[in-house]
């Protein structure tokens, strides 16, 4: 085994994934109900992506979408297409509902709001996201007439 040369100094400490296992109640569009484990995972390689792996009898299915979608869906209904997220005020514990749509069927899963908030707080602490710099877009809009790029 060869070693990779290093120019001196301390090697960077690897940043671990943020991962949390939830026990979810899921309901299909056909009316079936299942309880199963779901892994929520963010990695330092792509801290803006959220990997949700549903572990059900017979295999695993992973859905990947922007973590911003999960954050926005805690208090408002968001999403279009394959994943939609919304608050689900189910007494006695407020929950978050994630709806999944595919060509083979649809289902919804429910997670405790407080636990999702704690997961997101860990993610945001470990992987702080930069503030978006809009100066390039503003400069572009000042230089190029809107009618030119509106038609693209």
Confidence of residue 145 (pLDDT cuts 50, 70, 90): low
pLDDT for res 52: 95
pLDDT for res 1: 37
- Taking the alpha carbons of 110, 112, 117, 122 in that order, is the dihedral positive or negative? negative
Six-digit token pair at 119?
């997961």
Question: Residue 47 to residues 100, 118, 126, 137: CA-CA distances in angstroms?
Answer: 22, 16, 9, 24
Residue 152 has pLDDT above 80, yes or no: no
Residue 95 has pLDDT above 70, yes or no: yes
Each residue's pLDDT tens digit, 99-108 = 999 888 899 9
Count of other CB atoms within 10 angstroms of residue 104 = 4
Across the chain, what does the average pLDDT equal? 83
Q: How far apart are CA 51 and CA 114, in angstroms?
A: 19
**Mean pLDDT across 85-98:** 86
């Amino acid at each position: 085994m060869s070693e990779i040369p290093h120019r001196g100094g301390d090697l960077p400490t690897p940043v671990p994934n943020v991962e949390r296992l939830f026990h979810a109640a899921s309901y299909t569009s056909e009316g079936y109900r299942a309880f199963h484990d779901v892994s929520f995972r963010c990695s330092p390689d792509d801290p803006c992506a959220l990997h949700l792996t549903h572990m059900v009898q017979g295999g695993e299915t992973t859905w990947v979408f922007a973590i911003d979608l999960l954050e926005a869906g805690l208090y408002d209904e968001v999403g279009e297409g394959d994943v939609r997220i919304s608050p689900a005020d189910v007494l006695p514990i407020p929950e978050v509902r994630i709806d999944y749509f595919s060509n083979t069927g649809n289902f919804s899963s429910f997670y405790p709001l407080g636990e999702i908030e704690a997961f997101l707080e860990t993610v945001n602490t470990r992987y702080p996201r930069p503030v978006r710099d809009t100066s390039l877009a503003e400069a572009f809009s000042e230089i190029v007439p809107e009618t030119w790029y509106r038609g693209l």
